[in-house]
Structure 1
Amino acid sequence: MLRQYELVERVKEYAPEADEALLNRAYVYTVQKHGTQKRASGDPYFSHPVEVAGLMTELKLDQQTIITALLHDTVEDTLATIDEIEKLFGPDVARLVDGVTKLSKIEVMTESERAAENLRKLLLAMSEDLRVLLVKLADRLHNMRTLHFIKNPEKRERIARETMDIYAPLAERVGMYEYMREMQLLAFEQLEPEAYATIAGRLAQIRSQEGGQVDAIAFAIKQALAEADVNVEVTGREKHPYSIWKKMAERHVTFEQITDIMAFRVLTETPDDCYRALGVLHQTWQMIPGRFKDYISTPKSNGYKSLHTALIYENSMRMEVQIRSREMHRLNEFGLAAHWAYKQGGSRPDGQVGWLRDLIEIVDASHDAEELLEHTKLAIYQDRIFAFTPKGALHQLPKGSTAVDFAYAVHTDLGNAAVGAKINGRHVPLRSQLANGDVVEIIKSEVSEPQLSWLGFVVTGKARAAIRRAVRAKERAEVAEIGSKLFDEITDRLPQRIGKKAIDSAIKRLDLRDEEDLMFAIGSARLSDREVMEALVPGSTAELPQEAEWSRSERAISIKGLTAGMGFELAECCHPVPGDRIVGLRRPDKKVEVHTIDCLTLANGIDVDWLDLSWGERTTGAVGRLRLVLYNRPGTLAEVTQIFASNRANVTSLNMVQRDDPFGTYEVDLEVADLAHLTRILGALRASEAVSEAIRA
């Protein structure tokens, strides 16, 4: 494990301006926070973030990234908080640490849902700052190096599978091939232990039999190039076990049938020398047709540049050769990290945003955890082909991609509108697979829409996510259309006409997003007719009181809490009705005044006797007063009185108290059965387009 001074010295070597005190503080902070925590290996837990920080120094990353690596597990595994980190180390570090930190485990989530939500958070965080991904990749690489210490085989397999499916391809997509290869090798050892052991054993056997053949071939390549006056450095190696196993699986061949186990790398001084070296090698040894790739003139989306070819050496031995300049090699092995630009103002390196935009679009489009994981795996899969638009724009796609995948790679709207395609000028079906170098023209129609059957042949995550989203949107629109018809039938049963205001209020009460959401909920039977009516006009589904129960001639009011023979009157200031909480004010030689408990008159601190009162059991009917602000236009009063009539409320007084065009303010006295009756009327008034405001006076 790196000691504190060693880590600081490493950073100061390539960044003399780094804040030594801040780096020391971060080192001490992580040691203190993780305290006595242990890893599965038995090592102190803080050894892990220190090693991750060491990996970041090997990539010569900036100070904030080193500190983030040191702190990346503190929020998840200790009592540290993001606020505390921001206070001690600044907002940049706090944001980066938060991006790397997993979401809190929610017990109701399944394992795949937790994985998907953590991946969703990581993708969104790295879209803001790709340093989040660099720390996460280093974190995963170190965890893979110590994976064998975990005793639970299921946990080891889950971590290895996640590494193989997500993190190794992500490392490839940002050009960090060293990380990718080591992750794949370590994950392969866990996932296919028998295959790993068999292939590793065969490689060791070949190595012992060869007696330095790799070095001999490397020397022959260098000598041939030196004779042509091309100054190069040549290294040879065996392909690692996972690469061989993958080729065996793809080609359905045995180990003995794999003839290009050896690979050689030629490093030149300049890009021009790469092509000169290629010509010399092709003249010296026979080239294998179909195996040449020029990633210098057409780099991969992660910026990778190199010439790849395959040659037949002596005794029909096949060998792969990669030719690149030394600068290309530096960028290829560590990709994004090797030409990091944050120190020069925070801009993201070119060529790293296209695939990332696709990933973020997939995050937005995915319906559930399984979809997100599936689409993301597809989007970051490695094997690529190159295809062009008629104007020459280059798009990289996975092998097996179709014209539909290409259309969605260009733009989601183009994919949604696709009806046909031309490949190299020839009309072909949309399901036609593309080959390297194809020129693809998509034929579109404004009235076209994605077909569910496309999911049977598309291979890119972006295309699958967009098609599923479009199909779901179409189905949703159809259900919403049914819901709209049902909505009209429901509103016909309401006591009055309702408008946009009532619908907007109902959407809020039902906790929905918009009117389409409401119609979809109705059409899919997620809401009953009664729930919709009650949301539109609160109280509209309650039983209306029979008029005879509370008419003027039948009205009976009794008050509990009065002594025998004591008279009372309902206060004119607050107009209490049965159901209100009430209190009595007793003055000498006067009737007891009955007020609502929240009457403003009571707040004046009246110096009289207060009586605790309640309504009698047989109380029905009283006069309530409302204050209404109505729009001053023809038919307004008629609509309001219709609401009173349909709710069986008798108007005893209606006065305009203020005119302020285009509004008029009215006070209305109504005979109602009780508080519930009055509240129902208020709800109906507030739902009316004729009413701007309705409150109790």
Structure 2
Amino acid sequence: MNLPENRILISDLCEVLNTYMSKAEVEGVYKAYMVAATAHDGQYRRSGEAYVFHPINVAMILAELKLDYYCIVAALLHDCIEDTTLMQKDIVKDFGEEVAHIVQGVSKLTDLKFHSNIEKQAQNFRKLFLAMSSDMRVMMIKLADRLHNMRTLGSVNREKQYRIAKETAEIHAPIARRLGINSIKTELEELCFKYMYPYRYQVLTHQIDKRYGSLKEIICQIQEEIKYRLEQEGLSNIRTSGRKKAGYSIYKKMVSKHLKFSEVLDMYAFRVVVEDVSECYQALGIIHNLYKPLPGKFKDYIALPKVNGYQSLHTILFGPSKVFIEVQIRSKDMDFISEYGIAAHWHYKNKGSKPQKLANNWLGSLLDIQENSGTSVEFLEETKMDLFPSTVFVFTPKGEIIQLPYKATVLDFAYAIHTKVGNHTLKAKIDQVNTLLSKVLKTGQTVEIITDENAKPHPSWLKMVVTPKAKTSIKSNLKEKSVSELIQLGEYLLTNALEYQGDGEPVTEEKWQECLTDLKYDTKADLYIKIALSEVLISFVLNKLHAKECDIDANRISIKGTKNNQINFAHCCYPIPGDRMFGVLTNSKGLVLHRDGCGNLLRAKQKGEQWLAVDWQTNEDEEFKVAICVKMENRRGMLASIANAIAKINVNIENIKVEEYDHAMKGLNIVISVPNIAILDEVMYSVKSLEFVHSVERDSSNKKTPNQVF
């Protein structure tokens, strides 16, 4: 098996460390290497390379960012606790508590059992962030670890390449961007692009190289002209550099703005580094006199920094030979922080680090999410949302700038100010005009929040917010205020179960008291709450009240109607009357009904959550949402024809989404409201009868059993 020609050796690592570490620290690093090499002896990676070269490469990535002694040692030992016989106490003995703490933070949860890969990933992710909250070097090692794994991804099969690249694109690259570590972020994104879409990567890379080759002389000329003009105008000690933009950066712009390759203007970026802020703006004026700027293409990230602390002036210019170029102008400090991000903290740690402050602001928001998230999977999903913001800048009445993600609302703004402000929001104003709490904010607006001690979060608020902090704060408050609803749900479930399973005889007060005493509850209300929270099984309570152990099918209840009860319908499978269905008791949504065979229902059963078979008798005036998928030929007027076919059956369409398969075929995901499964069958048959429709099936992405197909 071929081994990498550019393999990093311990001598290479020590050579880099000698440029910024003391001799004693470098010797300590070498000692850590010897321990790691011994621990990993006999272990090999898929490439055939000895395993110890992986931690050496991870340590080298961090050494190039000039991380401190403790981080480099921990990087060399980061897989030892998980993959070797070396224990945490051994690391404490040889290298101290600080190194051991970092290594433990990076190690995965190997001693716990997980019900799914998603749960395992979420648990590890949550643990990683909790460890990171006390020491940022945990995340630095994790990012370097993932970067080296991505560099060597060619040795695994295609399926694994895609899975790891997708996970990296969703989690690790956004974290690197959020922490401002540009070098790691850029390389991770490029490698993800290469392994997720190899054909697109090859074609685009070829096109970029081809265009760059034909314009190389002009690009060098532009760089020289910029430097000459700046020096001529009195700016000294400047640095200029030029580069073609990375393939992923161009691909992302093509996708987000629906551009062809030929329509991407700024494929070449030039960086100008000057002494201070005043020279940044001076250089901007000089360059705008040299080349004509494009209107509306100037961004001032110095006055309004990005959330990760990035500062620079960006402008797009019309250069010679009709070449569009982007120029980034920044000071030396800004350039350093741009490349090193949070890693710059270890260079500035004695000067009150700005990068650390920025990281702590983000970590504070993550800890809010962690505290209020019910499960690790929920924490993972909400953190992913927090990692992908397109920033909006709005102002408080006092002129303070608040950064919020794209599509953030007035209510998000209130929670960004403070959780108490959000929880007691009564009304708001934008630019001194009364507005809705759900109003989406735009950059430059001034927002005023009016609070009232009697104002409280409402469940509808969850639909008004997009920021994880606002969502988790609202959920947490609703849980505290929902005792009466929990009592109502618990009583409803137990009463229905008693009616369904009982012999017609009412439960005597004496039996009730015996049950409460045995279960150690003071009142029926206390018991109802525990039933609603799924902390006491209904079957257990029924056995106590009926004084029998085996004759009752207590995992089945009958429900008559769903109005005015805390009963919800799962949107993963859209159950309707006529389906065989089950209910799962949840803390936040009460009883959630699922179709038999739904993947989420199966996972709930595997995790031991309380579930019940449900006999559902609906009221005549009730209607329920259900999703269907239509695959059809791409013809003009098809939407109108399908809508007309559904309307003839007197059924409402709630939502339609179009999916592009190819030029000839399209898919429609339609949500309709029907009273029962018979009407659904009629709708599906009517749509399938249209000549351009190939298939109609009931949509259930989580369902494991076959769908209804026409």
TM over 0.5: yes
Partners of 2:118 and 2:514 in 1: how far apart? Answer: 49
Partners of 2:507 and 2:455 in 1: how far apart? Answer: 34
Aligned equivalent of 1:387, options 391, 394, 401:
394
Q: What SS class does the counterpart of residue 520 from structure 2 fall into? A: helix
Partners of 1:27 and 1:517 in 2: how far apart? Answer: 58
Shift of 1:31: 0.5
Find out whether 1:221 has 2:216 as its counterpart.
Answer: no
Which AA in structure 2 matches 1:520?
Answer: I
Partner residue in 2 for 1:204: 209
Residues 490 and 529 of structure 1 are in contact (CA less than 8 Å); yes or no, is this contact kept in structure 2? Answer: no
Partner residue in 1 for 2:54: 48
Residues 437 and 464 of structure 2 are in contact (CA less than 8 Å); yes or no, is this contact kept in structure 1? Answer: no
**1:126-185 deviations in Å (ceiling 9; x for gaps):** 00111111111111111111112112x222112111111111111111110111011001
TM-score (norm 1): 0.69
Q: What SS class does the counterpart of residue 14 from structure 1 fall into? A: coil
Which AA in structure 1 matches 2:404?
Answer: L
Residues 515 and 541 of structure 2 are in contact (CA less than 8 Å); yes or no, is this contact kept in structure 1? Answer: no
Partner residue in 2 for 1:139: 145
Are the structure 2 counterparts of residues 201 and 453 from structure 1 closer, same or farther at C-alpha, using a change threshold of 3 Å?
farther
Partners of 1:304 and 1:163 in 2: how far apart? Answer: 22
**1:339-364 deviations in Å (ceiling 9; x for gaps):** 32696599882222111111122122
Find out whether 1:247 has 2:261 as its counterpart.
Answer: no
Q: How many residues align?
A: 531
Aligned equivalent of 1:371, options 372, 375, 378:
378
Which AA in structure 2 matches 1:392?
Answer: G
Which AA in structure 1 matches 2:407?
Answer: G
Partners of 2:28 and 2:484 in 1: how far apart? Answer: 56
Partner residue in 2 for 1:33: 39
Partner residue in 1 for 2:420: 413
| Range with bigger deviation, 67-76 or 419-428 | 419-428
Shift of 1:427: 2.1
Find out whether 1:279 has 2:285 as its counterpart.
Answer: yes
Partners of 1:339 and 1:360 in 2: how far apart? Answer: 21
Are the structure 2 counterparts of residues 116 and 325 from structure 1 closer, same or farther at C-alpha, using a change threshold of 3 Å?
same
Q: What SS class does the counterpart of residue 38 from structure 1 fall into? A: coil
Aligned equivalent of 2:186, options 167, 177, 181:
181
Partners of 1:437 and 1:18 in 2: how far apart? Answer: 53
Q: What SS class does the counterpart of residue 265 from structure 2 fall into? A: coil
Partners of 2:474 and 2:507 in 1: how far apart? Answer: 34
Within 5 Å, give how 1:1-20 maps onto structure 2: 1-16=7-22, 18-20=24-26
Partners of 1:210 and 1:530 in 2: how far apart? Answer: 76
Partner residue in 1 for 2:176: 171
Partner residue in 2 for 1:593: none
Partner residue in 2 for 1:656: none
Shift of 1:494: 6.7
Partner residue in 2 for 1:288: 294
Partners of 1:130 and 1:50 in 2: how far apart? Answer: 20
Partners of 2:24 and 2:487 in 1: how far apart? Answer: 59
Partner residue in 1 for 2:330: 324
For structure 2, the residue ranges without an aligned partner over 5 or more in a row are 1-6, 495-505, 550-710
Q: What SS class does the counterpart of residue 422 from structure 1 fall into? A: strand
Partner residue in 2 for 1:396: 403
Partners of 2:512 and 2:529 in 1: how far apart? Answer: 24
Partners of 2:428 and 2:195 in 1: how far apart? Answer: 44
Residues 491 and 498 of structure 1 are in contact (CA less than 8 Å); yes or no, is this contact kept in structure 2? Answer: no
Are the structure 2 counterparts of residues 463 and 343 from structure 1 closer, same or farther at C-alpha, using a change threshold of 3 Å?
closer
Aligned equivalent of 1:450, options 447, 457, 460:
457
Partner residue in 1 for 2:367: 360
Partners of 1:50 and 1:107 in 2: how far apart? Answer: 31
Partners of 2:348 and 2:99 in 1: how far apart? Answer: 13
Shift of 1:471: 4.4
Q: What SS class does the counterpart of residue 278 from structure 1 fall into? A: helix
TM-score (norm 2): 0.68
Residues 235 and 266 of structure 1 are in contact (CA less than 8 Å); yes or no, is this contact kept in structure 2? Answer: yes
**1:537-585 deviations in Å (ceiling 9; x for gaps):** xx99799xxxxxxxxxxxxxxxxxxxxxxxxxxxxxxxxxxxxxxxxxx
Partners of 1:54 and 1:95 in 2: how far apart? Answer: 20
Are the structure 2 counterparts of residues 466 and 259 from structure 1 closer, same or farther at C-alpha, using a change threshold of 3 Å?
same
Partner residue in 2 for 1:97: 103
Which AA in structure 1 matches 2:121?
Answer: A
Q: What SS class does the counterpart of residue 19 from structure 1 fall into? A: helix
**1:524-549 deviations in Å (ceiling 9; x for gaps):** 676368967999xxx99799xxxxxx
Shift of 1:338: 1.8
Find out whether 1:267 has 2:273 as its counterpart.
Answer: yes
Residues 340 and 349 of structure 1 are in contact (CA less than 8 Å); yes or no, is this contact kept in structure 2? Answer: no
Partners of 2:429 and 2:391 in 1: how far apart? Answer: 21
Residues 426 and 452 of structure 2 are in contact (CA less than 8 Å); yes or no, is this contact kept in structure 1? Answer: yes
Partner residue in 2 for 1:235: 241
Shift of 1:484: 8.7
Residues 491 and 533 of structure 1 are in contact (CA less than 8 Å); yes or no, is this contact kept in structure 2? Answer: no
Partner residue in 2 for 1:423: 430
Are the structure 2 counterparts of residues 498 and 48 from structure 1 closer, same or farther at C-alpha, using a change threshold of 3 Å?
closer
Residues 389 and 404 of structure 2 are in contact (CA less than 8 Å); yes or no, is this contact kept in structure 1? Answer: no
Partners of 2:286 and 2:349 in 1: how far apart? Answer: 41
Which AA in structure 2 matches 1:77?
Answer: D
| Range with bigger deviation, 444-453 or 306-315 | 444-453
Partners of 1:303 and 1:397 in 2: how far apart? Answer: 14
Within 5 Å, give how 1:503-582 maps onto structure 2: 506=520, 519-523=528-532, 527=536
**1:403-430 deviations in Å (ceiling 9; x for gaps):** 2222222223323333433222222222
Which AA in structure 2 matches 1:283?
Answer: N
Which AA in structure 2 matches 1:62?
Answer: D
Structure showing greater Rg: 1
**1:505-525 deviations in Å (ceiling 9; x for gaps):** 9379xxxxx999755214467
Are the structure 2 counterparts of residues 478 and 214 from structure 1 closer, same or farther at C-alpha, using a change threshold of 3 Å?
same
Shift of 1:437: 2.5
Q: What SS class does the counterpart of residue 358 from structure 2 fall into? A: coil
Partners of 1:507 and 1:181 in 2: how far apart? Answer: 58
Residues 69 and 135 of structure 1 are in contact (CA less than 8 Å); yes or no, is this contact kept in structure 2? Answer: yes
Which AA in structure 2 matches 1:261?
Answer: M
Within 5 Å, give how 1:18-167 maps onto structure 2: 18-104=24-110, 106=112, 108-151=114-157, 153-167=158-172
Are the structure 2 counterparts of residues 355 and 70 from structure 1 closer, same or farther at C-alpha, using a change threshold of 3 Å?
same
Partners of 2:141 and 2:78 in 1: how far apart? Answer: 8
Shift of 1:46: 0.6
Which AA in structure 2 matches 1:134?
Answer: M
**1:460-482 deviations in Å (ceiling 9; x for gaps):** 23233334444455555511366
Aligned-pair RMSD on alpha carbons? 3.5
Percent of aligned pairs with the same residue? 39
Partner residue in 1 for 2:510: 493
Are the structure 2 counterparts of residues 194 and 463 from structure 1 closer, same or farther at C-alpha, using a change threshold of 3 Å?
farther
Q: What SS class does the counterpart of residue 297 from structure 2 fall into? A: coil
Residues 266 and 324 of structure 1 are in contact (CA less than 8 Å); yes or no, is this contact kept in structure 2? Answer: yes
Within 5 Å, give how 1:332-343 maps onto structure 2: 332-340=338-346
Partners of 1:528 and 1:64 in 2: how far apart? Answer: 50
Which AA in structure 1 matches 2:201?
Answer: Y
Shift of 1:287: 2.4
Q: What SS class does the counterpart of residue 311 from structure 1 fall into? A: strand
Partners of 1:444 and 1:454 in 2: how far apart? Answer: 15
